[in-house]
A and B are shown apart, each in its own frame.
Chain A
Amino acid sequence: MADLFIGPDYADGVEIAAVTAAIGDDPAVVHETERLVIGGGARRHERRHLLLPALHALQRAKGWISPGGLNHVSELLQVPPAEAYGVASFYEMFRLDEPESDGAVTHVCVDAACQITANEDLIAEIEAAGGRVHRSPCLGQCERAPARFVQGVGGPDHVPADEVVVERKIPQQGDSALRLLKNIGLVDPTSLASYRQHGGYTALERAIELGSEGVCDAVVESGLSGRGGAAFPTGQKWRAVAAERDRPKHVVANCDESEPGTFKDRVLMENDPFAIIEALTVAGFATGAENGWIYIRGEYPLATDRLRHAIDQCRGAGLLGADAAGTGHAFDIEIRRGAGAYICGEETALFASLEGFRGEPRSKPPFPTTHGLFGEPTAINNPETLINALDVVLHGAAEYRSRGTEQSPGTKLLCVSGQIGRPGVYEVEFGTTLGQVIDLAGGITGSRNLAAVLMGGAAGTFVGPEALDMPLTLEDTRKRGTTLGSGVVMPFTDEIDMTAICVRISEFFRNESCGQCVPCRVGTVRQNETLVQIQRTRGLTAQRRDLMGDVGQVMADASICGLGHTAASAINSALALGLIREAV
């Protein structure tokens, strides 16, 4: 690259100090001549992943990313300003125009679980008091709808609900049958000693006894499948990465959790952060990866703090570092915050985002196990998957398989919200029926009848009341044309205007498409326009039905990634169930 052209705007002292505090002030290129030699290029390449943290620092300092601030970061990291702007403008949490007033911005959720509460009143209230509001997609707090997240300016972000002291962290707290949630509410999430008192780090000890191959074997035998939505066999993934030689390798915890209706990972991270660190260390040991990464969505300040604190404590205790926990193997973990983009939960988009590029997915193959983060072999897993692996390692595959069904062994976390008595995260054995889960969570609220349940989130499907007898397993949900996805179970009664819910789901996809491929970039817009028109005119004409069918098919057939592939599935199921009606 020739010399970078940087425009005439300069950062001020506040911006420079914020960036220095976040990523240091070590320039990517030390000498002028370095730009032209290979060392300079490699060094620049190596440091690009600091772009996202640097942009966060600018946003936090001033409430927006100014031209001068962007130039400063571009110069420091030797990223062309047009590219840095392209990255910054990709994310919902970054502003690129100067706000009219200072002060924090309150993000209020407008997705389904919050849409059926008084979230609009809350927005009006905050605005009437002179506050700034940002209408946000699901904030991962669906059990405490309407959800809020306050983005700080000059100070930290916070979530008002985190300040409320609750007696129980989860409805099933203390239940002795819990496997994945067993520590929640019992272990002090800020204390490594407390975690160890409750059996923490015994799984890693056991892993060392088993050896890395033994761990991979146990995970394969357990039949554990990914909990991030795609249900890919975890053992197979770990083995594939373990088999890669001679290159740096990575394990990544995908903590982006942005699927509307999903909040289980947040509950795990906030209340049992050491377990995630231990599990990622086990994954690193099993795959032979020395680099661990946690990519967490930007709207989870408490979970981020807890994980950071846990990493520091573990590092201090020698559980991370040059000889992590006596494994004889170097392993450490870095945290990266996302900045508001559902698509960055898609694994290849997550890598691009973490590397300092726009969060655009790429075609697979090649798969992450060979070409993942920085183009290197990578095992990426959902935190719930990782916690399951701890259980497998500690108690063995046979014990693990004693729960659930043959094809869906183990237990599953469900995120129950919507019109339900006791919303929250529930752990149930695979095979529990949908009706049993709804009963466990206190039954539907209101005196009306159950109309539909959203399964698996916005990327999932609606099912009708006839599905209450459906066992929640991978095989049964597939057979009935639905999905467990990320574990969302969101019931609605017939007092809810489902057309409005569907309009919002279509708006969600329209806003969250990365915009890369035509079927999804335009298809999500056309789908949303058609639903808006149906809502306005109450006219579900044959022509509009055909149009939505055509749009849905090309999105499913020709899009690059899962976002486009599933953008029409909830809408299609709503049409099939007659939830989108001619008139109310």
Chain B
Amino acid sequence: MTDPKATVSLTIDGRRVHVPAGTSIHKACEAANIDTPTLCWAENLTPVNVCRVCVVEVEGSRALVPSCARAVEEDMIVETDSERVRHSRKMVLEFLGSGVDLSQADELAEWVDHYGADLDRYDQPGLPAQRMNEKPKIQDDLYIRDYDKCVLCYKCVEACGDDAQHTYAIAVSGRGFDARISTEFDVTLPDSACVYCGNCIGVCPTGAIQFKTEFDMREAGEWRPEDQSVTTTVCSFCGVGCNLELHTQDDRIVKVTSPTDHSVTQGHLCIKGRFGWTYVQPPKRR
């Protein structure tokens, strides 16, 4: 066991940084005010370190290192903006953007600009770059899954499984570029183990899983984030005391989240808190 009070000193981009032992390189960068892109990492999930957008160069290591998952070591020398790091980050973004619809992956857009990723350079004459090519799965009134937007970050699988819900309704299936998030034999959600906690929606970074309300409004061109406000409240269904964030647009609830730093929920909810708000407003006439 590492001593929780021990401090580790390392060098990041030429600067000395002191952080508690066991801190990830990514968190150490944060402490040094260095921004690092992340995609598959989240505060409330176990790191899977698969997207590799957060890689850094560590002296003595042949390959680049995922900063989100690697713990700092005494006297480590880390470069976050070397030629190799910039190249890898740019390429990861290009790879994702060339195969996946990133139009709603708001956090990534900035990094695509920052690293000058060219998302179109893989389309060759007569041979367009292979894409996910998935149609949205609309199987109920609560949420939709549009795997054309899926970057396979494993977050939804973790939230459905070991990290939060322990329901295991979805898993990664297939292999290589054909890997997809799926239920067994791709059965519909109502036919699967899904309990509609919506925790997968909460963690999805690209909008591949989203509230049906949001999906319908986007389709209709009515989704206006700039006109939305967020009201924090406590769920009234039971005594646990989960914090809810009600996102409203034109005085109607459009989706519900929970803060990831909330001690009770860590961002996760159940079906009642997540979807049980229709009683506060009549269904919208279409």
Which A residues are closer than 8 A to B by beta carbons?
1-2, 4-5, 7, 67, 70, 74, 80-86, 89-90, 96, 341, 358, 363, 510-519, 521-526, 529-530, 532-533, 536, 547, 550-551, 553-554, 556-560, 565
Contact = CB atoms under 8 A, between A and B. Distances in A.
Nearest to B151: A518
B184 interface: yes
A178 to B, nearest CB: 36
B52 A519 contact: yes
B193 interface: yes
B175 A90 contact: yes
B87 A522 contact: no
A523 B88 CA distance: 11
B84 interface: yes
Given A96-B185, A516-B50, A557 B63 contact: yes
Given A85-B171, A85-B173, A533 B87 contact: no
Interface stretch (B120-128, B249-257, B259-267): B120-128
B148 to A, nearest CB: 15
B72 interface: no
Contact of B87 (A80, A96, A554): A554
B182 interface: yes
Nearest to A561: B63
Contacts of A7: 184, 187, 191-192
B63 A526 contact: no
Contacts of B169: 5, 80, 82
B227 interface: no
A515 B176 contact: yes
A406 B64 CA distance: 32
Nearest to B130: A525
Contacts of B184: 7, 67, 70, 74, 81-82, 84-85
Contacts of A521: 95, 152, 176-177, 179
Given A2-B167, A82-B182, A532 B127 contact: yes
B77 interface: no
A490 B183 CA distance: 43
B147 to A, nearest CB: 14
**Nearest 9 CB-CB pairings of A with B:** A80-B168, A5-B193, A522-B95, A515-B179, A86-B171, A554-B91, A81-B184, A85-B184, A558-B88
B167 to A, nearest CB: 7
A525 B177 contact: yes
A524 B95 CA distance: 10
A557 B87 contact: yes
Given A514-B176, A517-B50, A524-B177, 16 more contacts: A4-B168, A5-B169, A7-B184, A74-B184, A82-B169, A82-B183, A510-B176, A515-B176, A518-B51, A518-B52, A518-B151, A523-B91, A554-B87, A557-B64, A557-B88, A558-B63
6 contacts: A83-B171, A84-B184, A85-B171, A85-B182, A90-B175, A526-B129
B49 interface: yes
A559 B52 contact: yes
A529 B95 CA distance: 13
B179 A526 contact: no
From A85, A96, A558, A559, name the one whose CB has the most chain B CB atoms within 10 angstroms.
A558
A437 B165 CA distance: 59
From A7, A511, A553, name the one whose CB has the most chain B CB atoms within 10 angstroms.
A7
B175 A89 contact: yes
Nearest to A96: B185
B69 interface: yes
A560 B40 CA distance: 14
Contacts of A554: 87-88, 91-92, 95
B272 interface: no
A525 B125 CA distance: 16
B88 A519 contact: yes
A554 B152 CA distance: 18
A82 B51 contact: no
From B53, B63, B130, B170, name the one whose CB has the most chain A CB atoms within 10 angstroms.
B63
B55 interface: yes
B205 interface: no
B202 interface: no
A511 B182 contact: no
Contacts of A81: 183-184, 193
Interface string B152-174: 10000000010000111111111
A518 B88 CA distance: 10
B207 interface: no
A2 B165 CA distance: 10
A523 B95 contact: yes
B219 interface: no
Nearest to A532: B127
B101 to A, nearest CB: 14
Contacts of A519: 52, 88, 91-92, 95
B178 interface: yes
A522 B170 contact: no
B39 to A, nearest CB: 8
